[in-house]
Amino acid sequence: MKKTAIWLVIFSLTLIACVDEIYLDIPAADSNLVIDAWLGPSTGQSYVKVYRSAPFLSDAINPEYTNVVVDRIFVEDESGLKTYFWNVPDTAFIYRAQEVREFQSGEKYRLTVITREKEEYQSAWVTMPEPSVVEEMEIDPQEKPLIVYSSNVPMTINAVVADLKLRISNPSAEEVGFYIETDGISEVFATSDSENCTCNCYRPVPGMFGGMNLASSEYQQDNISSVKVGELNVTSLGRFYSNSKVKTVPKENLEYLRLIDKQQRSTGSIFDPAPFKIKGNIKSLTNPEQEVMGNFMVFQETIFSQMLYRAEIFRLNPNLSFSFEPIPHVDSNCNTYYTDTLLPIPEPFKP
């Protein structure tokens, strides 16, 4: 046994001696100036962010951006009328306008940023689009395999899931883009032996569409674009409140957002391609060769909200095979089981 142990030690030392240490010289990414500007139909919906980018680190959640000292920021129209943006207190990067002003559809606007070092950056002229109109929401239920949880144990069931689509119209003769953000609130139930049970709870459902929800008016029929904004699981009979913000942007802004979306869909693993730098419509007037990240976006915003009734979907589709999740049993309040519930009762669900 002693001889065997000695040979094992010698063999292990031999393996260690054969290991070469490799040091990779990975150059650090240069820091770029970033100007992220959104001009809405009013100054209250508009802001500008100015900072220097941080080197790319896989899985970095809060990258450390560098502050840029700014002398002036303004947006001007073709007549030369300027709206100035000022740093928001307690923030290093965000600038907003102090005056109240409306920005009109069909008018062209341009952004200018001047730093303390008198370096000047300017965007291309961008035309404010016409606002869109959400005509209605389409609800298309169908059977799909779905993973649900019973006592925190995942299980696959054949359930009914409804595709939610917005029918959007826009009067512009030119192609425009839609950037849609949809959140929801789901009513859930519990059972209890208590006579004073709070057995109705309301859970937030953020980001119903995976990734950036982008669409174009290019393929609309009868001046209507049908855009999917999310899916509704009909595995209970609780109500569901859907709220969508539809930003209408010019075609060139849509193309920029599509590049952003493509980059954001990277998983962040070491096998992903390196993130690429996305150049927008902002250039340096002081040094035309300088790379400037970010973009000057203009948009109109339309908000569409609707209460959806799962019980009505169940009633109108008797040919579909519905499956329902088990209802949990609680002592006196369903928030002991659903720990992410909203308090107080959300306004759309109040009597």
pLDDT tens digit sequence for 170-194:
998 889 999 999 999 999 999 999 9
Among 106-110, 114-118, 263-267, 330-334, whose mean pLDDT is lowest? 263-267
Helices (H) and strands (E) in the chain, counts: 3, 21
Among 121-135, 208-222, 279-293, whose mean pLDDT is lowest? 208-222
CA 133, CA 181: separation in Å to the nearest integer?
Answer: 15
pLDDT at 7: 56
Q: What is the pLDDT of residues 317-350, one digit of tens each?
A: 999 999 998 899 999 999 999 999 999 999 999 9
The pLDDT of 3-15, averaged and rounded, is 53
The answer to whether the CB of 314 falls within 8 A of the CB of 324 is: no
Label residue 63 by pLDDT band (50, 70, 90): low
pLDDT at 11: 52
Q: Which CATH architecture has domain 33-128?
A: Sandwich (2.60)
Label residue 262 by pLDDT band (50, 70, 90): confident
Label residue 236 by pLDDT band (50, 70, 90): very high
The answer to whether the CB of 200 falls within 8 A of the CB of 191 is: no
Name the percent of the chain lying above pLDDT 90. Answer: 69
Domain residues of the chain, as ranges? 33-128, 133-249+311-349
CA distances from 200 to 97, 234, 324 (A): 43, 17, 17
Structural tokens at position 179: 């950037």
